[in-house]
Amino acid sequence: MKTGILPLGLLATVLLTTCGADAASQNFEWFKTHDKERQAKIEECKKATDPRGNEDCRNTIDASFASGTFTKS
């Protein structure tokens, strides 16, 4: 019985950690090099109630700061 618990626990851990992952998220470096997509995402994030609420918005805002193109309003 104990031998079946370990694989089941590992499977549950893998499934739970991958369920919340956003497959379409782009990283900071990608947004730094893709100006057009970064600007479109910035506009979308500015409309959100929590602009840093998801990974894409955080990466977009950080990339905009790094490139010097971010304006607050």
Residue 19: the pLDDT is 47
Range 66-71 average pLDDT = 73
Identify the DSSP state of 53.
S
| pTM for the full predicted model | 0.57
Residue 24: the pLDDT is 64
Q: Which residues contact 50 (CB under 8 A, 6 or more apart)?
A: none
Q: What is the pLDDT of residues 18-64, one digit of tens each?
A: 444 445 688 889 989 999 999 999 899 989 888 888 999 999 989 98
CA distance 50 to 46: 8
CB 51 within 8 A of CB 61: yes
